[in-house]
Amino acid sequence: MAKLPKKYCDRVLATLKRYQGIVTSHRSRDVSEADTVTVVKDVLADVFGYDKYTELTSEHQIRGTYCDLAIQIEGKVRFLIEVKSAGSTLNDNHLRQAVNYGAHKGIEWIILTNGFEWRFYKVLFEQPISWDEITRFNLPDMSPRSQADLERLFLLAREGLPVDAINAYHQHQQVVNQFSIAQLLLSEPLLNSVRRELRRLFPDLRVDNGDISDLLVNTVLKREVVDGDKADDAKVRIRKAEQRLQRAAKKAAEAA
Residuewise pLDDT in 10s, the chain (256 residues): 668 999 999 999 999 999 999 999 999 999 999 999 999 999 999 999 999 999 999 877 555 555 689 999 999 999 999 999 999 999 888 888 888 888 888 999 999 999 999 999 999 888 888 899 999 999 999 999 999 999 999 999 999 999 999 999 999 888 888 999 999 999 999 999 999 999 999 999 999 999 999 999 999 999 889 998 888 888 888 888 888 888 888 888 888 7
CA distance 171 to 117: 23
Helix, strand, coil percentages in the chain from 3-state DSSP, rounded to 5? 55, 15, 30
pLDDT of 133 reads: 93
pLDDT of 62 reads: 58
Cβ neighbours of residue 180 closer than 8 Å, sequence gap 6 or more: 174, 234, 237, 238
Q: C-alpha dihedral over 100, 102, 108, 113, to 10 degrees?
A: -90
Residue 41 one-letter amino acid: K
Can you give the residue ranges of every domain in the chain?
Answer: 6-162, 178-255
pLDDT of 79 reads: 96
CA distance 40 to 59: 16
Cβ neighbours of residue 117 closer than 8 Å, sequence gap 6 or more: 90, 136, 137, 138, 139
**Which CATH code fits 6-162?**
3.90.1570.30
What's the residue count for the chain? Answer: 256
Nearest CA-CA partner of 53 in 65, 41, 35: 41
> For residue 110, which phi and psi values (nearest 5 degrees)?
-125, 140
Tell me if 147 sits within 8 A of 3, measured CB to CB: no
Cβ neighbours of residue 64 closer than 8 Å, sequence gap 6 or more: none
> For residue 31, which phi and psi values (nearest 5 degrees)?
-65, 160
Cβ neighbours of residue 17 closer than 8 Å, sequence gap 6 or more: 144
CA distance 229 to 226: 9
